[in-house]
Structure 1
Amino acid sequence: MTAASIAGSGVPPTGSIPNGRPAGSVEIIDLNGLRNIEFGATEDELTRRGILRTSLDACGGPMLAGHDMVSPVFVEDKLVLLWVGDPMRTPEGITAGSPVDEVWDRYPEVSRLRAPQGTRRLDGLLARSGDRAYLFLHDGRTVRKTIAGYADWARRLFDEGVGPC
């Protein structure tokens, strides 16, 4: 994943955010991406559309305009993953803080991924659909982080232990 450009998330928004949603409102992350931000889009395309802010580097990469709690992962100039935090949730309602049991209920085909012993990494649950997946990092009780995008890249990210910073 060394070819990836990984951006970090910033400070949670206050007041209203640029797309007109009030702070604290919920946005859906699905297996296509976010509204107006699709997996497979290029960095140049997202920059041209004003969505990717290369001048606002955080954690070593560009940020998404209006999405302080989202970290994009690019590989060979294409968006392959999005790390998302609260208040982002899947269409099935899973978000940071959701009980792990809810993931099993809403994604019956989920695969359990164990973090290597002796590390401080979180275990994962991979909910795959075709070439896309959600990776839910958890502490055994609750989801701590949601990553969505191409399944192979989500699995590679988990296996290699790479984070957004």
Structure 2
Amino acid sequence: MTAASVAGSGVRPQPPVEPAEPATDAVIDLAGLPGVEFGDTEQELTERGMLRTSAESCGPTLTGHDTASPIFYDDRLVLLWVSPPVRTPEGITVGTPVSEVSSRFPALTRLTAPQGTYRFDGLLARRGDRAYLFLHDGRTVRKTIAGYADYAERLFDEGYGPC
């Protein structure tokens, strides 16, 4: 009956509206995110209003960067785990095919997860003392981590996560 009344009313039915993608140009580079740089202390980030603690999260979170999880060592920001829509300047994010990562970063170090674990293999794109670590399932990127290269390698070797 609804279709007949709409058809007879001269009003055209509209297609369902898809949810809009968040309007963001969230890019993580090897310096960090806007307002958050690798090497910043927890105190500096808190004083600038960029770091907050919440009972719902597994650790401190970044203000304005809800899809980034900070990892601190000796009170310094050393790594950031990021999720979409955050991407690298090269356009790499969770879901990017591994072949595209290899074409954008030709000097990758391939890291193999230990047998018998549920961990992902990795691709380490190192530039000086910084790096991106892309954890993947053989087909697509599943996790994106950026920060100090030594800590990214340590994270991979030890299997540490943001929580």
Q: TM-score, normalised by structure 2?
A: 0.85
Q: Residue 89 of structure 1 corresponds to which residue in structure 2? A: 87
Name the CA distance, whole Å, in 2 between partners of 1:77 and 1:25: 29
Matched, 1:155 2:153: yes
In structure 2, stretches of 5+ residues that fail to align are 1-18
Deviation of 1:54 (Å): 2.4
Q: For 1:119, which of 97, 117, 123 is the aligned residue?
A: 117
In structure 1, stretches of 5+ residues that fail to align are 1-14, 16-21
Greater strand fraction, Structure 1 or Structure 2: 1
The correspondence of residues 70-89 of structure 1 with structure 2, limited to 5 A, is 70-89=68-87
Contact 1:64-1:72 at 8 Å conserved across structures: yes
Q: For 2:162, which of 138, 161, 164 is the aligned residue?
A: 164
List 4+ stretches of structure 1 deviating above 3 A: none
Deviation of 1:25 (Å): 2.3
Which structure would you say has the larger RCO, counting Cα contacts within 8 Å and 6 or more residues apart?
A: 1
Name the CA distance, whole Å, in 1 between partners of 2:35 and 2:46: 12
Greater helix fraction, Structure 1 or Structure 2: 2
Q: TM-score, normalised by structure 1?
A: 0.84
Name the CA distance, whole Å, in 1 between partners of 2:26 and 2:105: 20
Q: Given residue 49 of structure 1, which amino acid in structure 2 is its aligned partner? A: R
Matched, 1:37 2:24: no
Q: In angstroms, what is the RMSD of aligned CA positions?
A: 1.5
Name the CA distance, whole Å, in 1 between partners of 2:138 and 2:23: 26
Q: Residue 50 of structure 1 corresponds to which residue in structure 2? A: 49
Q: Given residue 52 of structure 2, which amino acid in structure 1 is its aligned partner? A: R
Q: Residue 22 of structure 2 corresponds to which residue in structure 1? A: 23
Residues 47, 56 of structure 1: CA spacing in aligned structure 2 closer, same or farther, 3 A cutoff?
Answer: farther
Q: Residue 104 of structure 1 corresponds to which residue in structure 2? A: 102
Q: Given residue 51 of structure 1, which amino acid in structure 2 is its aligned partner? A: M
Aligned length: 144
